[in-house]
Chain A
Amino acid sequence: MTPLLVTLVLILVKLALVFGVILTMAAYIVLAERKLLGRMQLRYGPNRVGPFGLMQPLADLIKMLTKEDVCPAHADKWLFMISPGLAAVTALLAFAVVPFGPPLTLFGQTVPMVVCDLNVGVLYFLGLSSLAVYGIALGGWASNSKYALLGAIRGLAQLISYELSMGLAVVPVILASRSFSLTDIVNAQASYPFAVTHPLAFLIFLVSVAAESKRIPFDIPEAENELVAGFHTEYSGMRFGLFFVGEYINMIILGSMTTVFFLGGWHGPLLPPVLWFLLKVMAVCFVFIWVRGTMPRLRYDQLMHFGWKFLVPVALVNVVITGAVMLWLKG
């Protein structure tokens, strides 16, 4: 076999693995969220299907698939059909650049534990997370309903605003690691994670990530009590399920990004690197769930104020200070 073929097969195998792991993980994060939220409210959460309710995702899937799939009259059929997929796929694609561990050596060949180690991984990730806006925008627009459209517009405004602070929060990390490649960024954190040296950027990133994954307190695109159900008002069955799962895939990818940028990626004592990575992602997901169990939803204007008048300026100042300190340290 030529080396090219080997690489190709390896990439395919890794793709399949990542795909499988992410999708199961997303399904089980839904379950974990329901259970944890339940415990926070002194109830059990789902515990009927299978031992400890572990088969609940399967039951949900069957339910979603067997429900009637309504396409409203006068909706833009094509866009209506593909936008849930768009939402889920854009989230999935970002996994291509996430490094899960240090390169392995298998049969005398080094296998990087990342589907594709782009040297501009950060840009790729930021670009894709901007694309996620499409799923929401088209979903709200194609269903030909005022409420869905309002939800979509609010969602767009929110995503775009918080995209900005997210991008700015990553800049200090890039400055410190001197690279756009995610693998290099993780390697730069071998001794200590960036969360320690750049706590402000870490906090800003965490808040923006919560907003990017449309979670409480930033779940304005859904906002059941003001907007019926938000941008997916008109969706039913598995199409709604795709939006829903997309949100959780997004949560995992943003959790992985937090891990890569700030929590030191796969670095950690004792345990195997991949396990460390998973644990950190889980921890970030837990924080999201915890926040959801605790915080009320922000009002829309407060949300915009917070993004533009607080997070973005603070992130900007942080970038300037980081740059100055780095120059001073060098000089």
Chain B
Amino acid sequence: MNLWRDIRGTIEPFWVTLRNMLRKPVTIQYPEEKRTPYPRYRARMVLTRDPGGEERCVACYLCSAACPVDCISMQAAEREDGRRYAAWFRINFSRCIFCGLCAEACPTLAIQMSPDYEICNRDPLKLVWEKEDLLIADGGKDKEYSFYAHAGIGVGQPRGAGAEESPVADIKSNLP
């Protein structure tokens, strides 16, 4: 009975390979045929804009700190009205491991992963992308979110003026 099983186990695979040989290969021939990755696919990062069309990034360095391979660097700067932004922002994609920790760390949803995976280059220096290359004219995954609407610019925003905040109650008027 074992011998029969062994013989069958020797013969059967031949039929499997022969059958597979006549089937159509599943290969995707890359440069000619491309797959559309899913929207949540994690390839290179982008810098997004808030609904008002302004840069979201506030140059808080959180992404840079979260990055395990230290490939993000930037210089913080401040506008007249006190709003922070990145004077320059640089990602070295030749080091990036596309782990997504930077996008995780970002409090303003500025840095996000995008499905654009075709960034290969023979020259590693061409893989260092500046802010101009990274910025897109879109809000990315959460188009409605605006950090400053919640936090206000600077510390001077009146209390209760942020989005989702209710106006400050006048406790005196609540007296019985």
Seen from chain A, the residues whose Cβ lies within 8 Å of a Cβ on chain B are: 36, 38-44, 290-291, 293-295
Indicate if B35 sits at the interface (CB-CB under 8 A). Answer: no
Chain B 4-39 per-residue mask, 1 if CB under 8 angstroms from chain A, else 0: 000000100110111011011111010000000000
**Smallest Cβ distance from B102 to chain A, in angstroms?**
35
Say how far B20's CB is from chain A's closest CB, in angstroms: 5
Q: Once the chains bind, are A42 and B20 in contact (CB under 8 Å)?
A: yes
Assuming the contacts A290-B14, A294-B13, A294-B14, asked whether A44 and B20 have C-beta atoms less than 8 A apart, the reply is: no
Whole-angstrom CA separation of A295 from B29 in the bound complex: 28
**Shortest beta-carbon distance from B52 to chain A in Å:** 49
The 6 sampled A-B contact pairs (Cβ below 8 Å) are A36-B21, A40-B20, A42-B23, A42-B24, A44-B27, A290-B14
Determine the chain B residues whose CB is within 8 A of the CB of A293 once the complex forms: 17, 21
The size bracket of the interface on B is: 10 to 19
The dominant DSSP class at the A interface is helix
Beyond contacts A42-B27, A44-B25: 7 other A-B pairs, Cβ-Cβ < 8 A, are A36-B21, A38-B25, A39-B20, A39-B25, A42-B24, A290-B18, A293-B17
Determine the distance from Cα of A293 to Cα of B18 in the docked complex, in whole angstroms.
9
- Contacting pair B16 A294 (CB below 8 A): yes
Contacts of B18 in A (CB 8 A): 40, 290
Q: Name the CB-closest residue of A to B13.
A: A294
CB distance A42 to B13 under 8 Å?
Answer: no
B27 and A40 form a contact (CB under 8 A): no
How many angstroms between the C-alpha atoms of A293 and B21 in the bound complex? 10
Quote the shortest CB–CB distance from A263 to chain B (angstroms): 19
Q: CB-nearest residue of chain A relative to B31?
A: A48
Report A35 CB to chain B, min CB distance, Å: 10
Closest 9 CB pairs of A and B: A40-B17, A43-B27, A294-B13, A294-B17, A39-B21, A293-B17, A42-B26, A40-B21, A42-B25
Which residues of the other chain, B, contact A291 by a CB distance below 8 angstroms? Answer: 14
Closest beta carbon of chain B to A296's beta carbon, Å:
9
Contacts of A40 in B (CB 8 A): 17-18, 20-21
Could you say which residues of chain B place their CB within 8 Å of the CB of A38? 25
Give the contacting residue for B26; candidates A36, A43, A290, A295; CB below 8 A. A43
Is the beta-carbon distance between B20 and A41 smaller than 8 angstroms? yes
B residues less than 8 Å from A36 (CB atoms): 21
> What distance in Å separates the Cβ of B78 from its nearest Cβ neighbour in chain A?
54
Which residue of A has the minimal Cβ distance to B16?
A294
Q: Closest A-chain residue to B19, C-beta based?
A: A40
Nearest-CB distance from B39 to chain A (Å)?
28
Residue of A nearest to B15 (CB): A294
Query: Which residues of B lie under 8 Å from residue A41 when comparing CB positions?
Result: 20
Query: In angstroms, how far is the closest chain A Cβ from the Cβ of B133?
Result: 31
Residues of chain A lying within 8 A (CB to CB) of residue B10: 295
Per-residue 0/1 for B32-59: is the Cβ within 8 Å of any A Cβ (1 yes, 0 no)? Answer: 0000000000000000000000000000
Task: Give every chain A residue within 8 A of B24 (Cβ-Cβ).
Answer: 42
Q: Establish whether residues B20 and A295, one from each chain, have CB atoms under 8 Å apart when the complex forms.
A: no
Q: Which of B17, B25, B27, B29 has the most CB of A within 10 A?
A: B17
A40 and B15 CA atoms in complex are apart in Å by: 11
* Chain B residues whose CB sits within 8 angstroms of the CB of A39 once the complex forms: 20-21, 25
The closest CB in chain B to the CB of A36 belongs to B21
Would you give the shortest CB distance from A301 to chain B, in whole angstroms? 17
Residue of A nearest to B22 (CB): A39
Chain B: minimal CB distance from A215 (Å): 15
Q: What is the CA–CA distance of A299 and B167 in the complex, to the nearest angstrom?
A: 79
